[in-house]
Structure 1
Amino acid sequence: MSTHADPDISARSDRVAAPVRVTRDGAGWAISGALHIRNLSEAAAELRQLEGVGDTQLDMAQLGHLDTAGAYLLHKLRARIAASGAQLDFSNLQADHQALIDRVGAAMPQPDAVQAPRASVTDVLEGLGRKVAGAGMFLVELVAMLGLFLARLAYLLRRPSEFRLTALVHHCDQVGWKAVPIVALMGFLIGVVLAFQGSVQLRQFGAEIFVVDLIAISILRELGILLTAIIVAGRTASSFTAAIGSMKMREEIDAMRTLAIDPATALFVPRILALLITLPILGAIANVMGLFGGAMMAWIELGISPGMFMTRLLEDTSVDHVLVGFVKAPVFAMIIGVIGCHAGMQVGGNAESLGAQTSAAVVRAIFMVIVADALFSVFFAIMGI
């Protein structure tokens, strides 16, 4: 018994299995074969020839099978060419192909055209007021965090047995000892730069010896402690935020409260106290290294011997400059520690929030340190110190 394949079925199979081809046809292009989901990637590669050729026409008389995926591909191709400023026209479309492409185009979601509202003076003032109110609330939260730290510190002074000395030593090592190399290098280079730039300018007036006063006052009074605080703010504020924020993400702080462990006592006090202890020491290291670098450059560039440099330094540099610098250190330490711990407590339940708060803590700490230094400068100038 012999069987014969239905010729209509065979022809339909050939049309579905035919590979898609896009060829040049006179002034336009022609597509042949089948365009369906099974050969969509090959079809996309073939149709990519039409992009970048300007206005063109695609003859679809030889197009066999077309499904929804193929119609979507043609619709997107026409949209991309239109977006480039050209036009693609389909010619000799079969009725069912035309209807399918039209249905796919009608089903495409269209984004709602949102017209940006014109900002009036009232809107601008409202936005400014919201930002000022937000800044005010942030300062209130920082003051509350500072008050919480002072309250817990006073509590631990009354009950020394509950103080976590091991945590304090650990944070002093992280905040202070491990920051010594970068702080020392920074101080040395600042002294070198001040001496070199000062010598270039003062040599014009024959006042090279005053480079010692320039280096001493600049480093001891301002740059030593300020740049040290900026470096510590970059290292430590981010570290505090990341450590406390990651604990908050993992709900460890909630677990501490469940176990009757106060997070402020266990987390905030050792960190901020470590900054209060180590930042003045780091500032002193920066001052010494700055004077050392300045003395070396003054000796090399101006011929001022180390002995002469030291004599001029001791005779003409007041102790007030040293005190002015060291008075700022505890304030800077408090600012950095409070901002870092506060930002850590603002972290939400995802890594994106942790990264945002860490970056914000560094920016805010550096900004507040510079503002505090400016206020100190104005205050000391008014007081004549």
Structure 2
Amino acid sequence: MDDTTVSPLLPSIETGSDQDIRLSGTWITQHVPTLEKCIGQWLSRKTAPGNLIVDFSAVQRMDTAGALLFLRMEKHLLEQGFSLERNGVSPAAASILKAVEPHAQISPGLSPRLPLWERILNRAAAIALEFLSSLRDLTAFTGLITQTLIMALLNPRRLRFNAILTQVQKTGASALPIVGLISFLIGIVLAFQGAGQLRNFGAEIFTVNLVAIGVLREMGILLTAIVVAGRSGSAFTAEIGTMKVSEEIDAMQTIGLNPIEVLALPRIIGLLIALPLLTFYADMMGLLGGAMISFATLGITPLQFIETLHGAAGLNDFFVGIIKAPVFAFIIAMVGCHEGFKVSRSAESVGQQTTRAVVESIFIVIVLDALLSILFSALGI
């Protein structure tokens, strides 16, 4: 009968007694959500294992989707210790069940739905285990990188200086426009917002202090590291991951080359050189933006800004930001290379690991920046 003219009965599962269950309705693709719900509800209230007689006489129609769901339920019950007997199966349903049976698998969706608190705990445990596993792998990779770097420094001929200079150009010189623009705008925002608040107390001149401390100690290095993580860290993962997919890394190993030494070290050393230079450039652009808005809104001339700057911030404020740069550079490059080597042989994996590299590196950089800020404050630096 045509389903467009006659509405099919919704599928259901009824328990006649402890020894039998009765299936009814249409077990078809359109009713898969209803079927899954019915099966889940019935499994959640089933009795202790025993003999079950399954009555198919009221099943009006069954297609491959309905047959697959039933077979999954049946297999699940068999593994739980039940024994099943089918009664009233029509020839058409029997044919479909026989065709689908080799493909039946246990589906997690057929298990009784856990309470909310159990699902939350299970999810939290899975996230914690995944985090610990990633931390273990990252720690092991850090040790491998450190060992390879020390060996290369002891034998400088193993360093590929052309590759290092190429990475300095890619991660440093090519990033100057975006880093400079962002730092300049942040300097403008800090000065503009700070001046608006300090004007209420007649202390507009301290806008210079706000811009100097904010840019030199925190904003310059932090924003630069985030931009580099999104720009260069992702590039490291994508480049190495693509090489792994195309089996270039396997070819390197076949001819006796060390992929860590050839691919990872130039990127790490290049970024270790480039990020401190980018941080210095970002600091200067941030101060320039602050000086411009101070002149435009407060009438503080560039000469007055520079003179006030000498008293507002010292060399220790400048070096606090610069000292963070090599640490952040090592973290970003290491995470980017690590995720690149973890790529499986598929294009989808390249995208997944690239996204993961950016998220991980930015997260670690922000957490580390907070810890270093607390440490420097406790030391009075």
Q: Which band: TM-score by shorter chain?
A: 0.7 to 0.9
Q: Which residue of 2 aligns with 1:351?
A: 347
Separation of aligned partners in 2, 1:150 and 1:377: 25
Distance 1:114 1:309, change over 3 A: same
Distance 1:76 1:190, change over 3 A: same
Moved more, 158-167 or 176-185: 158-167
Q: Which residue of 2 aligns with 1:181?
A: 177
Q: 1:245 aligns with which of 241, 259, 264?
A: 241
What is the correspondence of 1:56-205 to structure 2 with a 5 Å cutoff? 105-110=61-66, 111=69, 115-118=112-115, 121=118, 124-125=120-121, 127-205=123-201
Query: Larger C-alpha radius of gyration, 1 or 2?
Result: 1
User: Is residue 221–residue 279 contact of structure 2 (8 Å, CA) maintained in 1?
Assistant: yes
Q: Secondary structure at the match of 1:304?
A: coil
Question: Following TM superposition, by how much is the alpha carbon of 1:169 offset from its aligned partner in structure 2, in angstroms?
Answer: 1.0
Count matched residues: 300
User: Is residue 28–residue 63 contact of structure 2 (8 Å, CA) maintained in 1?
Assistant: no
Separation of aligned partners in 2, 1:214 and 1:168: 37
2:113 partner amino acid? A
1:254 partner amino acid? D
Question: Following TM superposition, by how much is the alpha carbon of 1:120 offset from its aligned partner in structure 2, in angstroms?
Answer: 5.4
Return 5+ residue gaps in structure 2 as ranges: 8-26, 35-57, 74-109
Q: Which residue of 2 aligns with 1:86?
A: none
Q: Secondary structure at the match of 1:105?
A: strand
Alignment deviations for residues 110-166 of structure 1 (CA, whole Å, 9 cap, x no partner): 136554233555x65454344323322322222222222221122122222221111
What is the correspondence of 1:206-217 to structure 2 with a 5 Å cutoff? 206-217=202-213
Q: Secondary structure at the match of 1:109?
A: helix
1:272 partner amino acid? I
Alignment deviations for residues 187-232 of structure 1 (CA, whole Å, 9 cap, x no partner): 1000011111111111111100000000000000000000000000
1:302 partner amino acid? L
1:296 aligns with 2:252: no
Task: Provide the TM-score with structure 2 as the length reference.
Answer: 0.72
Q: Which residue of 1 aligns with 2:54?
A: none
Q: Secondary structure at the match of 2:243?
A: helix
Q: Secondary structure at the match of 2:61?
A: helix
Quote the RMSD (CA, aligned, Å): 2.9
Alignment deviations for residues 162-196 of structure 1 (CA, whole Å, 9 cap, x no partner): 21111111111111110000000011000011111
Question: Following TM superposition, by how much is the alpha carbon of 1:107 offset from its aligned partner in structure 2, in angstroms?
Answer: 3.8
2:62 partner amino acid? A
Separation of aligned partners in 2, 1:79 and 1:163: 64
Distance 1:194 1:349, change over 3 A: same
Q: Which residue of 2 aligns with 1:235?
A: 231
Task: Provide the TM-score with structure 1 as the length reference.
Answer: 0.72
Distance 1:108 1:260, change over 3 A: closer
Separation of aligned partners in 2, 1:199 and 1:248: 52
1:118 partner amino acid? P
Q: Secondary structure at the match of 1:239?
A: helix
User: Is residue 28–residue 64 contact of structure 2 (8 Å, CA) maintained in 1?
Assistant: no
Distance 1:77 1:250, change over 3 A: closer
